Structure 1
Amino acid sequence: MKLSFRQPSISKFNLQITGSKSISNRYLILKAQFPNLELSGLSESDDTHVLYKAISTLDQKCDEIDIHHAGTAMRFLTAYLSSLPNLEVVLKGSKRMHERPIGILVEAMRELGGHLEYLGSEGFPPLKIYGKSIQKNKISIPANVSSQYITALMLIAPSFKNGLTIFLESKITSKPYLLMTAQALRSVGVEVDMHEEYIRVYPKTKIEPKTIAVESDWSSASYFYSCLALMDHGEFELSTFQKDSLQGDSKVAEFYKLFGIETQFKAGSIFISKKAGVMHPKKIELDLNDTPDLAQTIAVTCLGLDIACDLTGLHTLKVKETDRLVALKTEIEKFGAEVEITSESLKLSPKANLKESVSVKTYQDHRMAMAFAPLAIKVDLEILDPEVVSKSFPDFWEKIKVLGIQQNH
């Protein structure tokens, strides 16, 4: 898909953003345990559809569940399926999914009494899972690898007879996602104690009937912050969002002040605005340990605005849909800039005049496609495999077309 930019005749836009994938998937696991929980505003993402379908098929006694590229579904289901007595199922995914580690979570479930077997390489999917009733109530787990391992354990802990205490080894990565999980549990009546050294989730067998409305996705909103940053001026209304959001990526509002964007909250929407003639810094430095999914967006914004950046706290990006650090370096350098990466950081030395008509590979990674798309406001470019956005934001291309980013297939 080739992208170019045509200045729209208006500078104010109203956009509805899809429901949060992270929140939706947490509540789907809770709904599986508490059927009288009703959900509205669920994400339209592939990942959420895959998880919903997987849980729905359990009634049909299926022998195999394929979650394709859905990393969240792989981790949440590894824990959830292991805790279902008398279940026997194979959990598998795409080729890339079978290259993404799952060993820490598998070992945790085994220590709790679960029965899981590797069908391929040790430490990686696919898995053969024999569901069992979990009796143990304590586990220790590294907290600096993936918050999703811990979240997966937290979400199934209410079903344990004695609940679960999770002892956290090392510094927590992506802490806001654990706070989000705790909030989801509490919202349905499950008691949770959160501490730096451990998390305690108490048992719960039944809840009162309840309906939860899922907030829109801040990660998806970040691409519109990037679009506005790359424009001279404008104002977008994005809905539906909460000022007290527990989504870690809500910090995009704070980060993009660096690019001259102001955020206001009004009646369930955010109004983001940029005045003409804003001066940008020559360099920014950010620790994204709590918000690694914003790294690609911020790096490309800096590329488009000729701003040097030093981003740290990115150690989890190597085990995402692709090695995002390597992918960012490769694709950004096609535009003429220079990028240095380590195992957990990225340094960008920008270039004032970017190369035109670059073809950007997406590596089956939805965030690569969406992060680079706003750059079309500055230079014509091509996004390869654009349909990958369906993983988290199926109507992304329709949304940015409204802003003047033209698409030629």
Structure 2
Amino acid sequence: MTYNITAPEQLNANINLPASKSISNRALVIYALSGGEILPDNLSDCDDTEVIIEALKYMPETIDIKAAGTAMRFMTAFLAVTPGTHVITGTERMRNRPIHILVDALRRLGADIEYTEKDGFPPLRITGKELEGGRLDIQGNVSSQFISALLMIAPKLKNGLKLKLDGDIISRPYVDLTLCTMRDFGVDAEWTDTDIIEVKPKPYTPIKYYIESDWSAASYWYEMVALSKDPEAEVELNGLTDGSLQGDSVVKYLFNMLGIKTIFGNKQRGVPTTVRLKKIGIRSARLDYDFKNQPDLAQTFVVTCAMMNMPFHFTGLASLHIKETDRIAALKTEMKKLGYIIDDGDGTELSWNGERCEPDADIAIDTYEDHRMALAFAPAAMTLGSIKINNPQVVTKSYPNFWDDLRKAGFIISE
């Protein structure tokens, strides 16, 4: 399937954003570990969250988490401390995404985990049992989801967990989000040094829990306002909170440099409100930023800056190689179709100095089974007039109503 997306001349919309996938997935696992009977409220309806809900509800012998990387990491740790034997597997791409760092760490804590096919990769056969816990060292530059998976089960460990993160720590905001969610459920989990986290052995307390809207999803609406030719373009986004611990909430600062003002209806911390986006007419000449703490925003800003003819240099992108696709390679390929020569430096960065090439005659953006490719490239229609997106259904992984919301905002979408 291919969508042809035609942008409206004026942009004025009020959008109910999806709930945060990051918070939903953490809250669900913690809810299950707490023995709670009331599901968190306003859970994300995306694919990644749905597979966790299904797995926790039915706990089948074989758990297929499909393409959900977060679910694979979080459920692997959860199953290691949950009685019973289960096999956890996923799509072909998931079976080729490395998980040995997490498995090795869990085994050092005493977990019973076997690889059923290829060493270092899913599927995994896991027999859950009580784990001793104690001191554990792990590299800080691994996926934050490995770290978060270990932290969330830590209160269940006999001796708790003292986790030391060696070297450079990437995606720290996601670790902080995990710790905050854990504390909301009544456990003691704190940074005790710049590289050490301690979690005491203490049961989670079941509570009613509300999930705020997703700042990652908001980034695509910021992109639309930034790229709109309408100087009066304005979008209202519902359910976001000021002072959010979501790492991707940094979009409000970054897009300010791209000429977009963020206006909160209510600035009370933790209270969901409506956020208004509007143009301010002043922007930076170029954008340089280290995305090591917010790698999921890279696609948004590569497309936005190029479409705005703004040179950029983005670093801290090593983790993009092992996402739903190799996002660095995918971005270079698809941006070249649009006539932009993107450089990847040493493979951990992306930059553009203004170099152009002849764009393809009939451009259709490939999505590589990666939701963020579709989500980040669709707003380019604001600059190009229209754009074609192949396999647009991939957005269900994080933002199932994205195309309906675009229609609501005046976009014309045809197959």
User: Could you state the TM-score of these two structures normalised by the residue count of structure 1?
Assistant: 0.95
Q: What are the residue-to-residue correspondences of 1:121-140 with 2, within 5 Å?
A: 121-140=118-137
Distance 2:204 2:24 in 1: 20
Distance 2:30 2:199 in 1: 13
Map of 1:391 onto structure 2:
397
CA deviations on 1:270-321 (whole Å, 9 max, x unpaired) are 111114xx25433211111111100000000012111111110101100000
Larger displacement relative to structure 2 (255-264 or 30-39): 30-39
Map of 1:408 onto structure 2:
414
Map of 1:199 onto structure 2:
197
Are the aligned partners of 2:187 and 2:204 in contact in 1 as well (CA < 8 Å)?
no
Map of 1:65 onto structure 2:
63
- Are 2:365 and 1:369 aligned? no
Map of 2:218 onto structure 1:
221
CA shift in 2, pair 1:353/1:211, >3 Å:
farther
- Are 2:4 and 1:2 aligned? yes
Please, which runs of 5 or more residues in structure 2 have no aligned partner? 267-272
Q: Which of these residues, 286, 290, 315, is aligned with residue 312 of structure 1?
A: 315
Are the aligned partners of 1:357 and 1:381 in contact in 2 as well (CA < 8 Å)?
no
CA shift in 2, pair 1:12/1:353, >3 Å:
farther
Distance 1:63 1:35 in 2: 20
- Are 2:53 and 1:47 aligned? no
Distance 2:204 2:360 in 1: 59
Secondary structure of 2:44's aligned partner: coil
Map of 1:333 onto structure 2:
336
Are the aligned partners of 1:322 and 1:363 in contact in 2 as well (CA < 8 Å)?
yes
Identical aligned pairs, as a percentage? 40
Larger displacement relative to structure 2 (303-312 or 32-41): 32-41
Q: What are the residue-to-residue correspondences of 1:80-91 with 2, within 5 Å?
A: 80-85=78-83, 87-91=84-88
Are the aligned partners of 1:191 and 1:201 in contact in 2 as well (CA < 8 Å)?
yes
Distance 2:213 2:35 in 1: 23
Distance 2:361 2:402 in 1: 23
Distance 2:210 2:282 in 1: 39
1:35: Cα distance to partner? 3.0
Distance 2:286 2:357 in 1: 14
1:353: Cα distance to partner? 9.0
- Are 2:138 and 1:141 aligned? yes
User: Deviating runs (4+, > 6 A) in structure 1?
Assistant: none
Are the aligned partners of 1:41 and 1:213 in contact in 2 as well (CA < 8 Å)?
yes
Secondary structure of 2:342's aligned partner: strand
Distance 2:203 2:174 in 1: 24
Instruction: In structure 2, give the amino acid aligned to 1:27.
Output: A
Distance 1:35 1:94 in 2: 29
User: Could you state the TM-score of these two structures normalised by the residue count of structure 2?
Assistant: 0.93
Distance 1:248 1:399 in 2: 24
Distance 2:126 2:186 in 1: 29
Are the aligned partners of 1:38 and 1:210 in contact in 2 as well (CA < 8 Å)?
no
CA shift in 2, pair 1:356/1:381, >3 Å:
farther
RMSD, aligned CA: 1.6
CA deviations on 1:207-251 (whole Å, 9 max, x unpaired) are 2x5211101000000000000000133121111011110000000
Are the aligned partners of 1:377 and 1:405 in contact in 2 as well (CA < 8 Å)?
no
CA shift in 2, pair 1:174/1:181, >3 Å:
same
